[in-house]
Structure 1
Amino acid sequence: MILTILVPILALVAGVFGGKLLNSKNTKDFEAEAQKKADDILKNAEFSAENLKKDKMLEAKENFIRLKAEFEEETQSKKAILIENEQKLREKERTLQQQAEQQRTTEQEIHSARQSIQSKEENLRKKNEEADKKRAEAEEMLANQISQLERISNLSAAEAREQLMDALKAEAESKASSLVKQAIEEAKLTATKEAKKVVIETIQRTAAENAIENCVSVFNIESDDVKGKIIGREGRNIRALEAATGVEFIVDDTPEAIIISGFDPVRREIARLSLHRLVQDGRIHPARIEEVVNKTRKNIEDEIVEIGEKTVIDLGIHGLHPELIKMVGRMRFRSSYGQNLLQHSREVAKLCSTMAAELGLNVKLAKRAGLLHDIGKVWPDEPELPHAILGMELAQKYKEHPEVCNAIGAHHDEVEMTSMISPIIQVCDAISGSRPGARREMMESYMKRLKELEELATSFDGVQKCYAIQAGRELRILVDSENVSDEKASNLSFDISQKIEKEMQYPGQIKVTVIREMRAVNFAK
């Protein structure tokens, strides 16, 4: 095909060259040269055609090899699929054979079981028939015996049965009565002994401290030079301290010590901490004193919460409401008949847990009720309710267990005991309070008298603060200077003194001091 294309081209080229060389002098040379060029072109064309042929043959061979490989790969894949399908068919055939074998075995077992059941049913039917025969014979014999007994005793079967039951009932009642009487007598003999044993073991296993509650706190100082700063010029610092804290500061010849006197432990603690901060700071003047006292009063509230949390952690009590924890901490600054209330409550809780363990009762509930039994004594509002009833209502308010609530309310017999731990709380409260040195009645009545004295003074209009100091011999009253004039302050002092004389019983005399202070405060900005 290539040659057929090249021949006309060569002829055209030869004609062109021939036309140009017609005018040449040497026509033969031109023809020879043209022939040579034509031969060269022909050779080149043949060589190109040969190369093109080889390339096409190689390309065709490569296509053939590729198609062959693809065919063999596809064949192998189909072969593998066929082999896999054949294996699956064989596996299914084997499974079907096994299932058929199992089915044949099951059918044989069912057939054998059915035969066994049929044989057992036949045996059972025969036994039932024999039992029916024997039962009929027995009933016939029993009827004969009953008829003979009725003929002999002249009584029917129902009458004889009633007489026998009456006799057995009378005998059983007699024996039961004697057993109950014997059990009651044994219980009376052993109950007191066992109760004393449990109480004694509980007391022996609980370590208790003697309560020492007083009305003074001692503040130690490094040198007596500090006393002058505390007193201040013309006594203004110590007067500001007493007015802000409500306690009496006794600065005498006692070396390196200042006595803080007051019946309220919270006030004494606030006064002690405030004085400690003032001495450390060195700046002691009325304005600074009031600032430090107010900060200390707030810090005491945080300390009360910490004391409550530490107490419940030490006793292993969990899930107590935050308000109850705060009341437990407030017990640290209250006393009951001269006995520290928190120490008393901790002691009762330990006694209750020990006694409950001895009696096999719930130790956790007993310990919880023991700690909270006097919680009504620290309620700040002090309503006209017994502290046991108030404590029970507080426990109910904060979702305590019903047994705990009943134990709190019943430990002074204000409500009926409905729980087993209630008498335990009552007994342990009596044990803690009756130890030698635990309580002092005079201290309780003394503190009650001072509280009544303060409440009487605060009932008058215009009174801001009121403090009973000097063991109740002086009543110091701070009034509102805007609402109370000097004349009214004098009348107020007289009216309070007259009301104290009419409504209270007290030894000696009480000095009523009304303080009206005018302050003008401005800020330079």
Structure 2
Amino acid sequence: MIATYITIGIVALVIGAVLGIMYSKSSLNSKGKFILEDAKKSAETIIEKANTQAETIKKEKHLQAKEKFLELKSEHDSNIQSREKKMQEVEKRTKDKEHKLNEELSKVGRQEKDLEKQLADYSKKQEIVERKQQELDAATAQKVEMLEKISNYTAEEAKEELVEAMRAEAKTRAQAYVQNIMEEAQLNAKTEAKKIVIQTIQRIGTEQAIENSVSVFNIESDEIKGRIIGREGRNIRALEAATGVEIIVDDTPEAILLSCFDPVRREVARLSLHRLVTDGRIHPARIEEVVLKTQKQIEEEIIEVGKRTIIDLGIHGLHPELVKIVGRMKFRSSYGQNLLQHSREVANIAATMAAELGLNVKLAKRAGLLHDIGKVPEQESELPHALLGMQWAEKYGENAEVINAIGAHHDEIEMTSLLSPIIQVADAISGARPGARRQVLESYIQRLKDLEAAALSFDGVSSAYAIQAGRELRVMVESAKVNDEVAHQLSYDISEKIQNELTYPGQVRVTVIRETRAVNIAR
């Protein structure tokens, strides 16, 4: 600001000087001199004013700077005081902690001194006890020596004689006591066991389940039989090859017989026939398509049956694989008795017995339902069904008592809980009632399975089906591996193996079928 006023004054002075020079050169008259002097005075006046204003501004700025300095100094002093206060607080806390630490150290020192004093007292007492023990041992040895002299027995001989006498007396008393207890327990156990079994049988109503190996498919008219057979029998052959079920079309009015020992195959064939007849399109390609869809539907039905069964019995938390296995039991039989019905009966009988004995009813139902799951493997196993079922139950996280009950219900393993004999008894009750089982059917089904297994053991065989009650064995081979000549030889080899290794009534006809297909799709 000061520099601005000085600059203005200098400019005015220069302008005045220039004007004066101009006037002095142009004219030296008195008027020019007067103007020059007047201009000099104006310039001096402007310079004085500028100096005055500059001084005033300088003083103002000096005062402002001084005020700003005082303000900063005050703020600095305040910060210093705040820091000093914090440092004093920190110092005070440090001193307090140091004081507490010193107190703790002194306390620990006092405790160490007390501990050392107690250790010293304990050492003295231990020395006194050891001295007294030595004195007691010496006195005991002296007394034993005196007794040995008086009785002419050593201490060991006296001990043995005394122990032997006490043992004989205790053994005699124990035998009498055990005999009394055993007699009383046997009497009570037989009475109670009979009562529980009778009450259980009275409270459980069971249906007689007799399984057979033939299903009847009803049709509206005999005209449909011709469509099912097809031209030159191609439809019925395709259906038998796809399902492994013998389709018997005879003079029986409005009915077709489905014959197979495997209930799942029969059900697949029955449902497939129903779909084909309803749809009206019956030819080999359509038959294979429908059979595949029906097999998937049966798998879903198996899961649904398993879910319904566990809901009916009030069983919760069963692994999905075990639910599927339970559903498969619907399509299996044991000595002619439906396996799922048998397992439900065993579950209810076991639950009733467990309730009578005050045991866990839910575990009893669970073990009863699962005790025969080893009878429905997807692939044949060399293990007994009880051990196979036990392995599955263990694999899928079942209770230890349930696992033992499954494995021990035919005495393959040792029973470790009261639940195991209950399942064994319930299984016997369900299977022993009149009309429950038929040994003949079980052996018949096993014979058909052995026939199929004998054919499947040869290389190149894709599938084998025992039909006509085991009188015929149809063998499907892979055309890429087996030619016509090998097919004839294969038929002979299979018949020889059946004749040499299996036992069967009558004759078994072995039919080897080799088929070549060419399939293309027009798009």
Cα distance, 1:268 vs structure 2: 0.9
Cα distance, 1:41 vs structure 2: 2.5
- Report the AA paired with residue 504 of structure 2: M
Q: Is the 8 A contact 2:229 2:236 kept in 1?
A: yes
Cα distance, 1:187 vs structure 2: 2.1
Structure-2 residue corresponding to 1:439: 437
Q: 1:266 to 1:94 in 2, by over 3 A?
A: closer
Structure-2 residue corresponding to 1:173: 171
Q: Which moved more, 1:65-74 or 1:217-226?
A: 217-226
Structure 1: gaps spanning 5 or more residues: none
Structure-2 residue corresponding to 1:196: 194
Partner of 2:505, secondary structure, is coil
| Distance in 2 separating the partners of 1:7 and 1:380 | 123
| Distance in 2 separating the partners of 1:110 and 1:386 | 70
| Distance in 1 separating the partners of 2:162 and 2:521 | 111
Structure-2 residue corresponding to 1:248: 247
Cα distance, 1:169 vs structure 2: 4.5
Q: 1:300 to 1:110 in 2, by over 3 A?
A: closer
Q: 1:259 to 1:157 in 2, by over 3 A?
A: closer
Q: 1:64 to 1:274 in 2, by over 3 A?
A: same
Partner of 2:436, secondary structure, is coil
> Deviation digits for residues 127-183 of structure 1, max 9, x if unmatched?
x99xx8xx999x99xx99x98x999x9788958877766654444333222222222
| Distance in 2 separating the partners of 1:451 and 1:107 | 89
Structure-1 residue corresponding to 2:425: 427
> Deviation digits for residues 408-457 of structure 1, max 9, x if unmatched?
565445x4536446544433321221123321234334434555666678
Structure-1 residue corresponding to 2:262: 264
Q: 2:335 aligns with which of 311, 334, 337?
A: 337
| Distance in 1 separating the partners of 2:27 and 2:517 | 144
- Report the AA paired with residue 248 of structure 1: I
Structure-2 residue corresponding to 1:83: 85
Cα distance, 1:278 vs structure 2: 1.4
Structure-2 residue corresponding to 1:523: 520
Q: Is the 8 A contact 1:392 1:406 kept in 2?
A: no
Q: 2:274 aligns with which of 276, 283, 289?
A: 276
Q: Is the 8 A contact 2:371 2:389 kept in 1?
A: no
| Distance in 2 separating the partners of 1:52 and 1:442 | 135
| Distance in 2 separating the partners of 1:217 and 1:239 | 18
Identity fraction in percent = 38
Q: Is the 8 A contact 1:242 1:249 kept in 2?
A: no
Q: How many residues align?
A: 496
Cα distance, 1:198 vs structure 2: 4.6
Partner of 1:260, secondary structure, is strand
| Distance in 2 separating the partners of 1:521 and 1:86 | 102
- Report the AA paired with residue 49 of structure 2: F
Q: Which moved more, 1:179-188 or 1:340-349?
A: 340-349
Structure-2 residue corresponding to 1:36: 38
> Deviation digits for residues 444-477 of structure 1, max 9, x if unmatched?
34434555666678789998644423x56x6374
- Report the AA paired with residue 75 of structure 2: E
Structure-2 residue corresponding to 1:468: 467
Q: Is the 8 A contact 1:216 1:260 kept in 2?
A: yes
| Aligned residue runs from structure 1 range 201-212, under 5 A | 208-212=206-210
Partner of 2:209, secondary structure, is coil
Structure 2: gaps spanning 5 or more residues: none
> Deviation digits for residues 263-318 of structure 1, max 9, x if unmatched?
32122111112112213432122332233224434554565566567767874464
Q: 2:68 aligns with which of 52, 66, 69?
A: 66
TM-score, normalising length: structure 1: 0.69
The answer as to 2:27 corresponding to 1:22 is: yes
Q: Is the 8 A contact 1:406 1:422 kept in 2?
A: yes
Q: 1:258 to 1:75 in 2, by over 3 A?
A: same
Q: Is the 8 A contact 2:16 2:43 kept in 1?
A: no
Partner of 2:258, secondary structure, is strand
Structure-2 residue corresponding to 1:296: 294
Partner of 1:523, secondary structure, is coil
Partner of 2:27, secondary structure, is coil
TM-score, normalising length: structure 2: 0.69
Q: 1:225 to 1:262 in 2, by over 3 A?
A: same
Q: Is the 8 A contact 1:388 1:411 kept in 2?
A: no
